């Protein structure tokens, strides 16, 4: 049977700054999904990572379905009411437009969705990250789908070894969705040349070259492009189907042991390592560090199993300790050099104003050494 997975993520308010949503806020969103989604969606899951709520829906309405997106939009609106009542910080932060118009793309929330014929066994992963941007998934996806150092299936499994087709979006282009398809292994170096630039080129989806099946859908929202100014980072959500013709679950997870440096730490303006965390982890130190959580599900006849929290394991405790060391290393140099993002990517205008004011005071030195 054909189903659609729709995963939508938004920050509609959190306790104590940009840390975690309240239990009441999460409960209200789940209540709206449960009551109003009855008859429309087959199953749902509601969770959170940092200050962002993630809603996962299983349904048969296809991608970009108006009633499905409206349901989630309305649930986030209802959550915003709770956030306002509780005085939560940033109430309604990611709902950038006043009115719903067709689907939530371009309105603020991050969306990942895919439609496929359910396999006999259908395992998939839901990734949610906070204090970072969609390009944070570029390196882990490249390593899991295109590098035999991380994906042993590329050399062990004939189906996986056929390679994958990546659709990459140029998120700096705002007039329309500007994308390119690149297939590995032949175009691996071209792919790397794009994916090194996390702020500009973002993996939107990946398909198997063995059977054309979609393995990955990743959100590509740029809140700044929608709002025209800084309104928070584009904390990304991603769905990944695993096993058989796709990488194994563990191969998808392996690159998260790196704790690679990504944009989005404190004020969306600093660089920090991406820490794999348990579900429902908030943020703390220096409004971070950037975090990613991952829940593993199976779906059958449109019904979800209870999820497994994959980063809740002793191995990842050790990774977290190591990543914490990387956090301290980069934070020890404060604003200097690569610890802070380049001026073009800063999410606050203060530095630009300061530099503009100083510009007038620069002069050509005509002293003795000139």
Cβ of 205: how many Cβ atoms within 10 Å?
Answer: 21
* Contact residue for ligand F6R among 69, 207, 233, 260 (CB under 6 A): 233
CA dihedral for 171, 173, 174, 180, sign (positive or negative): negative
By CB under 6 A, tell whether 287 contacts ligand F6R. yes
Looking at the Cβ atoms of 50 and 79, the one nearer to Mg ion is 50
Site string for ligand F6R, 165-204 (x = CB under 6 A): ----------------------------------------
272 near 327, Cβ under 8 Å?
yes
* Contact residue for ligand F6R among 21, 47, 232, 255 (CB under 6 A): 232
| C-alpha span between 105 and 31 (Å, rounded) | 23
| C-alpha span between 120 and 124 (Å, rounded) | 13
Q: Among 56-64, 124-132, 147-155, 291-299, which window interacts with Mg ion (CB under 5 A)?
A: 124-132
By CB under 6 A, tell whether 234 contacts ligand F6R. no
Catalytic residues: 11, 230, 233
* Contact residue for Mg ion among 133, 235, 287, 347 (CB under 5 A): 235
Report the greatest alpha carbon distance in the chain: 82
| C-alpha span between 204 and 218 (Å, rounded) | 5
Task: Give the three-class secondary structure for 336.
Answer: coil
Q: How far is the CB of 79 from ligand F6R (least distance, A)?
A: 17
247 near 160, Cβ under 8 Å?
yes
| C-alpha span between 68 and 60 (Å, rounded) | 10
Q: How far is the CB of 214 from Mg ion (least distance, A)?
A: 26
347 near 267, Cβ under 8 Å?
yes
Pick out residues in 15-74 that bind ligand F6R (CB under 6 A). Answer: 17-18
**Which whole-number Å values give the CA distances from 302 to 13, 290, 299, 305, in the listed order?**
31, 32, 6, 10
The tokens 């308010």 sit on which residue? 13
Site string for Mg ion, 18-57 (x = CB under 5 A): x-------------------------------xxx-----
By CB under 6 A, tell whether 131 contacts ligand F6R. yes
Pick out residues in 59-98 that bind Mg ion (CB under 5 A). Answer: 90
Looking at the Cβ atoms of 37 and 268, the one nearer to ligand F6R is 268
Q: What is the DSSP letter of 123?
A: E
* Contact residue for ligand F6R among 47, 268, 276, 282 (CB under 6 A): 268
Name the residues that contact ligand F6R, by CB under 6 A. 17-18, 131, 232-233, 266-268, 287
């Amino acid at each position: 049977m054909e189903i659609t997975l729709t995963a939508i993520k938004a920050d509609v308010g959190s306790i104590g700054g940009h840390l975690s949503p309240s239990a009441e806020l999460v409960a209200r969103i789940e209540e709206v999904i449960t009551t109003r989604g009855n008859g429309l969606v087959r199953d749902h899951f509601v969770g959170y990572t940092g200050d962002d709520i993630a809603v996962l829906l299983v349904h048969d309405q296809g991608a970009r379905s108006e009633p499905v997106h409206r349901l989630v939009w309305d649930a986030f609106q209802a959550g915003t009411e709770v956030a306002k009542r509780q005085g939560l910080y940033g109430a309604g932060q990611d709902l950038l437009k006043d009115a719903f118009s067709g689907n939530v793309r371009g309105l603020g929330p991050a969306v990942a969705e895919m439609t496929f014929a359910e396999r006999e066994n259908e395992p998939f992963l839901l990734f949610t990250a906070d204090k970072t941007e969609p390009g944070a998934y570029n390196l882990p996806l490249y390593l899991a789908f295109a590098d035999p150092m991380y994906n042993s299936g590329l050399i062990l499994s004939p189906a996986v070894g056929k390679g994958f087709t990546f659709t990459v979006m140029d998120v700096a282009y705002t007039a329309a969705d500007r994308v390119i398809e690149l297939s590995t292994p032949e175009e691996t170096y071209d792919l790397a040349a794009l994916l090194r630039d996390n702020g500009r080129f973002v993996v939107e989806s990946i398909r198997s070259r063995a059977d054309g099946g979609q393995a990955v859908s990743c959100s590509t929202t740029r809140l700044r492009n929608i709002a025209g100014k800084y309104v928070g980072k584009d904390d990304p959500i991603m769905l990944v189907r695993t096993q058989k013709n796709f990488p194994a679950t563990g191969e998808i997870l392996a690159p998260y042991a790196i704790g690679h440096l990504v944009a989005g730490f404190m004020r969306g303006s600093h660089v920090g390592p991406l820490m794999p965390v348990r579900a429902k982890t908030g943020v703390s130190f220096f409004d971070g560090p950037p975090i990613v959580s991952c829940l593993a599900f199976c779906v059958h006849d449109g019904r979800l199993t209870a999820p497994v929290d994959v980063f809740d394991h002793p191995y990842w405790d050790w990774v977290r300790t190591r990543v914490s060391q990387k956090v301290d290393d980069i934070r020890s140099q404060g604003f200097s050099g690569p610890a802070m993002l380049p001026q073009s990517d800063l999410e606050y205008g203060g530095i630009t104003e300061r530099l503009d004011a100083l510009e007038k005071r620069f002069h050509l030195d005509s002293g003795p050494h000139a």
